[in-house]
Amino acid sequence: MYDTRKIGTSRNGVFFALKGINKDGITYCEDAYKKGVRCFVVGSKVSLPEDCFVIQVEDALQALQALAKYHRSLIQYPIIAITGSYGKTTIKEWMYFILKDHFRISRTPKSYNSQIGVAHSILELPIESDFGIIEADISHPGEMDALEAMIAPQIGIFTGVGNYYTHNFENQEQHISEHLKLFERCNTTITVEEFGSDLRRRKIQFQLAKKEKWSKFIQNRLPFVNNQLLLFEASSYLGIPTDVLEKKVNNLPQLPGRLEIFEGINDNLVIDDTYNIDIDALDQALEYLMASKEKTKKVLILETKGVEEFQKDKIIQLVERYAVQDLLVLENNSLVRKKGFANGSSDIPVLLRSIENSAILIKGPFNSSVNQWVEILKKKSHETYLSFDLKAIKHNLNYFRELIPADTKLLVMVKAAAYGAGEIKIPHFLQENGVDYLGVAYADEGVVLRRNNIHLPIMVMNTEKDAYSDIVRFDLEPSIYSFEVLNSFVYFLQTQNLENFPIHIKIDTGMNRLGFKPSEVPELIQNINETRFICVKSVFTHLSDADNLSSDFSEEQLKAFDDIQNLFGKGLSSAIAFHALNSEGILRYAPNHTFNMVRLGLGLFGYSKLPNASKRLLPAVAWKTTLAQIKNIQKGEFVGYGKSFTASRDMTIGIIRVGYADGFSRRLSNGVGSVIINKTPCKVVGNVCMDMTMVDISQVQCSIGDEVEIFGEQQSLFYFAEQLATIPYEILTTVGKRIWRLYHL
């Protein structure tokens, strides 16, 4: 084990103190000790009570990997290894789905495919099984050697590499070569046609998953045909007869392993994972439920239909281990409360609506009837939503982390409900992923975060007098931008008898928004030195033109800020931090000018105006709705309010479920804006209404209920913003509150 949050009550475990991106595992040894661990593997000296058995090694990760390698050497059954930029987890889960009735299969939990994840996966492999399926992923050259040594696979699956994740590699050649190191010892490696020549050149035995061969099996309802081809070819290689395969592919689960998380009714957080109910998937989902910090009360709604009896016992044991407070099981069409409050109602909707302020996990088999109950828990039942790809967000976060020096702190701006992403989920995601600081525009936003269990330090940009008491009460850190605010805040602290209260100083180096002028700094330093009520934690400035490569105004600002840093350095006795760069600033200048901290904003969601940077980021937001009605109209008919549109020919229009009250601006009326239906752009016809919009679908094959993309993969947020002569920031922050926010993991 290496994560103290997941330690149960086991006294037999060994704790490996691994170095993480942000924290060294060594700092968690004490926590592990308190939880009963007595055996430790550490990379540096640590003082632990006498009843501990401590092994000090050069590198704890290497030790863990060596142990995994040893464990692997005891295993006789073949291991299938999957690598590539995409599809790994999908293919792994599908293989499991296809093979599980024929073989005993052991596989990587979740997407545990990193240096630590693979070691973990290998160590969990039982000695007896028929096949193991292990995922591997790398982000730097040289990383595959250690993974290959642990996995030692006999069969490979290469999903190919994309252009997205190449930034740490010299070129695409190297990117591919490094991945293919995994397959050097394999008897065969299965890949798709476009990568065949890459394997041939490297003398790796391979076999192609050809489209012609499998065209009959392809499921159009599922995305990414390549994943399917690889699955079919691999299953057939492992001896699954074609007729069995043909039957099974009809039931291939969609989006396997992708938890959907959304805000539910009664302040609930709902985690919807209704695609399979095998014990591993349940284990993962429960782990996610228990680890999520948003809500302290945890509820599990479970359906075990179709599960064999002996599995049921295991499921019950597993559920007991996690100690949810409330357990509801769907049996013979009624929902039975196994644990928690007294019986409640036998009426399912009533029972569901009585759950409040909890994290609710809904888990059932594919095609389960619990699906319909998910709908009841949704706060917003209409079909328009803004979706956030948490994987992409994590990729972006890590990309920014790699750009800045290791000792530079990372603050993420979550003002305006995290740029429209929703008040709670993204801040929690950031907290779980170890960012150092959060920033908000107003104290109120900070209060919401505190009320929802965010304990990171929070910096408030725009400090208002009326908010002083909230700032103190909720442990927020105000930015001070003028003598007036400084004096009144110090006076307030004095009346409260508070000393050394943390504040930040904002300097205006050219933007002419809030901030002290550089000329005011000497007097400011003097004032700060004369009061004991505040403690300056940082001094910062903001760039006004960072995304404009043809201007060097940012350099002028940064130079001015260097001078400010010198003044403070000389003038203040205590050590303080400095920061200047926003997202575009980091992308443009890091690792230079990062000072002690950077402030990330829009870049987190994968958008940048800088061409080189935008290639490396993953756009994470999509806005979708559905088609409510289809109408054929004749030449000469009007459409919408004000008769602003007259059909110049017979045409077909579609009515979509979004209007200006949702942030779909009325300025998009009459052909200014368009949406994508079935891969085709469809222009707005007539005026946008409050809740609905008409679009021209004359050229599209479509039917009622079809998905409509407002922006996302096909129509980029940048393009959409351009239609409105604005920027992505404004679009994201004005998507209506009533639109459901959906988060994919």
Q: Is the dihedral of CA 565, 567, 570, 576 positive or negative?
A: negative
Instruction: Tell me if the bond preceding 223 is cis, omega within 30° of 0.
Output: no
C-beta closer to ligand PLP: residue 415 or 425 = 415
Stretch that binds ligand PLP, among 33-41, 421-429, 582-590, 677-685 (CB under 6 A): 582-590
Q: How far is the CB of 720 from ligand PLP (least distance, A)?
A: 18
In the complex, what is the shortest distance from the CB of residue 428 to ligand PLP, in angstroms, rounded to a whole number? 19
Least distance in angstroms from the C-beta of 471 to ligand PLP: 17
Buried b vs exposed e over 441-475: b needs ≥16 C-beta within 10 Å?
A: ebbebbbbbeebebebbbbbbbbeeebbebbbebe
Rounded least distance, CB 319 to ligand PLP, Å: 42
User: Is the Cβ of residue 351 or residue 604 nearer to ligand PLP in the bound state?
Assistant: 604
Question: Tokens 């595992």 sit at which residue?
Answer: 25
Closest to ligand PLP by CB, 295 vs 593, is 593
Q: Which is nearer to ligand PLP, 132 or 515 (CB)?
A: 515
DSSP structure string for 76-131 = -S-EEEEESSS-HHHHHHHHHHHHTTTS-EEE-STT--SHHHHHHHHHT--SS-SE
How far apart are CB 601 and ligand PLP at their closest, in Å?
A: 2
Asked if 41 touches ligand PLP (CB under 6 A), the answer is no
User: Is position 601 an interface residue for ligand PLP (rule: CB under 6 A)?
Assistant: yes
Q: Indicate whether 602 belongs to the interface with ligand PLP (CB under 6 A).
A: yes
Please, what is the minimum distance in Å from the beta carbon of residue 743 to ligand PLP?
20
CA pair distance 504, 525, nearest whole angstrom: 13
DSSP calls for 9-35: S-SS-EEE--B-SS-BGGGGHHHHHHT
Q: Give the span between the Cα atoms of 606 and 397, in whole angstroms.
A: 9
Question: Rounded CA gap, 606 and 546, in Å?
Answer: 16
Segment contacting ligand PLP by CB under 6 A, of 73-81, 264-272, 495-503, 595-603: 595-603
Sheet containing 14-16, strands listed edge to edge, beginning at the edge strand earlier in sequence: 14-16, 39-42, 53-56
Q: Minimum distance from CB of 445 to ligand PLP (Å)?
A: 12
**In the bound complex, which residue of the shown chain has the CB atom lying closest to ligand PLP?**
601
663 binds ligand PLP (CB under 6 A): no
Written in H, E and C, the secondary structure of 656-688 is ECCCHHHCCCHHHCCCCCEEEECCEEEEEECCC
| String of contacts with ligand PLP for each residue 340-379, x by CB under 6 A | ----------------------------------------
Quick one: 17 or 600, whose CB is closer to ligand PLP?
600
Round to whole Å and give the CA distance between 267 and 449: 14
Least distance between ligand PLP and beta carbon 565 (Å): 17
- In angstroms, what is the minimal distance from the CB of 464 to ligand PLP? 15
Dmax over Cα atoms in the chain, in whole Å? 90
User: Do the bridges between strand 693-696 and strand 680-685 make them parallel or antiparallel, or are there none, so unpaired?
Assistant: antiparallel
> What H or E segment, with its residue span, contains residue 147?
helix 144-151
Of the ranges 12-20, 566-574, 578-586, 614-622, which one interacts with ligand PLP (CB under 6 A)? 578-586
For ligand PLP, which is the closer residue by CB, 449 or 461? 461
Size of the site for ligand PLP (CB under 6 A): 12
Closest distance to ligand PLP from the beta carbon of 506 (Å): 8
The residue within the footprint of ligand PLP, chosen from 256, 264, 364, 603 (CB under 6 A), is: 603
Stretch that binds ligand PLP, among 65-73, 589-597, 598-606, 617-625 (CB under 6 A): 598-606
Nearest distance, CB of residue 614 and ligand PLP, angstroms: 14
Among the listed residues 401, 403, 422, the one whose alpha carbon sits nearest the alpha carbon of residue 411: 401
Nearer to ligand PLP, 186 or 543 (CB): 543
* Binding region for ligand PLP (CB under 6 A) out of 127-135, 181-189, 599-607, 706-714: 599-607
Q: Which region among 224-232, 516-524, 597-605, 665-673 touches ligand PLP (by CB under 6 A)?
A: 597-605
Q: How far is the CB of 461 from ligand PLP (least distance, A)?
A: 5
Decide whether 373 or 400 has the Cβ nearer to ligand PLP: 400
Contact region for ligand PLP (CB under 6 A) — 256-264, 316-324, 580-588, 676-684? Answer: 580-588
Name the amino acid, one letter, at 39.
C
Binding region for ligand PLP (CB under 6 A) out of 16-24, 229-237, 555-563, 594-602: 594-602
Does residue number 115 form part of the binding site for ligand PLP (CB under 6 A)? Answer: no
Using CB under 6 A, which of 166, 583, 594, 687 touches ligand PLP?
583
State in angstroms the smallest separation of the CB of 713 from ligand PLP: 22
Cβ closest to ligand PLP, residue 706 vs residue 730: 730
Q: How far is the CB of 385 from ligand PLP (least distance, A)?
A: 23
In angstroms, give the least distance from the CB of 418 to ligand PLP.
11
Q: Residues 387-417, buried b or exposed e (16+ Cβ, 10 A)?
A: bbbbebbbbbbebbbbbbeeebbbbbbbbbb
Question: 597 vs 653, which CB is nearer to ligand PLP?
Answer: 597
- Of 214, 207, 155, give the one whose Cα is nearest residue 182: 155
Interior/surface letters 551-589, b for 16+ CB within 10 angstroms, e for the rest:
eeebeebbebbeebbebbeeeeeeebbbbbbbbbbbbbb
For ligand PLP, which is the closer residue by CB, 258 or 599?
599
The site string for ligand PLP over 410-449 (x = CB under 6 A, - otherwise) reads ---x-x----------------------------------
Name which of 71 and 609 has its Cβ closer to ligand PLP: 609
CA 163 – CA 175 distance, rounded (Å): 9
Q: How far apart are CA 588 and CA 548, in angstroms?
A: 10
Task: Using the Cα atoms of residue 334, residue 340, residue 343 and residue 345 in order, give the sign of their dihedral.
Answer: negative
Whole-angstrom distance, CA of residue 36 vs CA of residue 7: 9
Q: Which one, 351 or 413, has the nearer CB to ligand PLP?
A: 413
Q: Which parts of 374-413 interact with ligand PLP (CB under 6 A)?
A: 413
Among candidate residues 104, 137, 108, the one with its CA nearest the CA of residue 120: 108
Choosing from 176, 461, 597, 622, the residue that interacts with ligand PLP (CB under 6 A) is 461
Q: How far is the CB of 622 from ligand PLP (least distance, A)?
A: 19
Residue in 394, 542, 588, 616 binding ligand PLP, rule: CB under 6 A: 542
How many beta carbons lie within 10 A of that of residue 426, not counting itself?
24
- Candidates 141, 146, 144, 145; CA nearest to 165 is 141
Minimum distance from residue 419 beta carbon to ligand PLP (Å): 7
Binds ligand PLP (CB under 6 A): choice among 582, 674, 687, 693: 582
CA distance 708 to 718: 18
User: From CA 197, how far away is CA 180, in angstroms rounded?
Assistant: 12
> Which is nearer to ligand PLP, 35 or 579 (by Cβ)?
579
Secondary structure string (H, E, C) spanning 463-494: CCHHHHHHHHHCCCEEEECCHHHHHHHHHHHH
Provide the residue type at 673 as one letter.
G
The C-alpha atoms of residue 625 and residue 386 are separated, in whole angstroms, by: 9
d(CA 46, CA 64): 18
Work out which of 179, 599, 624, 657 binds ligand PLP, going by CB under 6 A. Answer: 599
Q: Which is nearer to ligand PLP, 154 or 548 (CB)?
A: 548
- Interface ranges with ligand PLP (CB under 6 A): 413, 415, 461, 542, 582-584, 599-603
